Amino acid sequence: MKITNIKTIITAPAKLNLVIVKIETSEPGLYGLGCATFAWRSLAVQAVLDNYLKPFLTGKDPQRIEDIWQQCAASGYWRNGPELNNALSGIDMALWDIKGKLAGLPVYQLWGGKCREGALVYRHTGGSTPEEVEGQVRKYMEQGVMHLRCQIGGYGGGKSPLASPEGALPGQYFDPAAYARTTVELFAYLRKKLGPEVELLHDVHERLAPIDAVRLAKQLEPYRLFFLEDALAPEQGEWFRTLRGQCALPLAMGELFNHPLEWETLIKERLIDFIRVHVSQIGGVTPALKLARFCEQFGVRTAWHGPGDVSPVGHAANIHLDLAVPNFGIQEWGGFSPELEKVFPGCPKQKGAYVYLNGRPGWGIELNEQEAAKYPGIHEVPAWTQTRLPDGTSVRP
């Protein structure tokens, strides 16, 4: 059996670019699907797939997943960038899908079988006031969901008392001090109103200077968060030693990680509690499995990144990982629109606090290419990444 064709499909049913890889084989009707979604640079990922990986892989044996992963990672000499890793993830996931279909088994069975029946999820809540956030939390609690991420005013929210200077350039302005103050007020309000049983989470989104992130974590400690996410930027990883020494708040990290050296020290020194990588950003499920096993040795749990800019194929792969690894923690979950479910038949389903797979071979999910073509990619420069401080200084989101 050989790889006969590799197709790259960009579709945006939910107005976010999703990059899907379809690997076709010499076995009639046998193909695999993978997620290569880097929503903000989808054309760059497509170029890597179409111009480099497709000619490199055509004619190779699709069953040699590990060898193909290693060869693709090294074939360009320079490695571990987000464009290459996402392209590689699309290949890797599609090959595992083929492997599962060949065996007639869901992919998690190839990794040792289930450790649990469903994946515990958390949902997103937000609003412009604490009362609005509380209302969203209560709606999810009525559905049986007891883990809620809570934000006020969006990422870096909080109205600034400081006016911008004359002639300030356009961008997404935020005030770190106002954000930190309103966030503490939000969780004080929510704990008082909701009691101790509901699990609350928060995403800093790397919006604070390191010392301010340490202070925020200490101020949030009395409200017993399930975890505080991305308190520090990847470039400030050494500050996790200070943060860990200052408070006992559970910490989650990894959304922007590309390279193993970005997480190795944090895990070995037990400086984080949850690993939050975007699975396609690190190269797919082959490295994600190795990462999960590494984390298991140090008591770190998984909490794979699961926002709207992960395709349903990628979400399905996340859930297969969640069911198979013993050190699973929780899964971020946003749900699927009717348009997404029509483009991707077989999507995982949420029931109460858990998400379940359909038990079909491979990932258990398909791609309706005719429906996908109705939602062409949107190739614009994203506005939300053009972030600035009140005085107009450009900062990283």
Residues known to be catalytic: 155, 205
Instruction: Give residues with Cβ within 8 angstroms of 395, minimum separation 6.
Output: 387, 388, 389
User: Residue 237 carries which side chain, given as an amino acid letter?
Assistant: G
Comparing CA positions, the residue from 171, 219, 131 lying closest to residue 397 is 171
DSSP string, 142-181: HTT--EEEEEESSTT-S--SSPPPTTPPPSEE--HHHHHH
Comparing CA positions, the residue from 340, 326, 242, 293 lying closest to residue 17 is 340
Question: Scanning the structure block, which residue is given the tokens 């309000």?
Answer: 189
DSSP string, 110-131: HTT--SSSSEEEEEEEEESSHH
Taking residue 328's Cβ as centre, other Cβ atoms within 10 Å add up to 20
Instruction: With beta carbons less than 8 A apart as the criterion, state whether 301 and 274 touch.
Output: yes
Give kind and range of the element (H or E) at residue 35.
strand 31-35
Question: Scanning the structure block, which residue is given the tokens 């604070």?
Answer: 208
Instruction: With beta carbons less than 8 A apart as the criterion, state whether 70 and 92 touch.
Output: no
Separation between Cα atoms, residue 8 and residue 203, nearest integer Å: 32
Instruction: With beta carbons less than 8 A apart as the criterion, state whether 46 and 19 touch.
Output: yes
The secondary structure of residue 294, as a DSSP letter, is H
**Beta-bridge partner residues of 394:** 388
Instruction: Give residues with Cβ within 8 angstroms of 74, minimum separation 6.
Output: none
User: Residue 30 carries which side chain, given as an amino acid letter?
Assistant: L
Separation between Cα atoms, residue 362 and residue 106, nearest integer Å: 5
What do you get for the CA distance between the two ends of the chain, in Å? 45
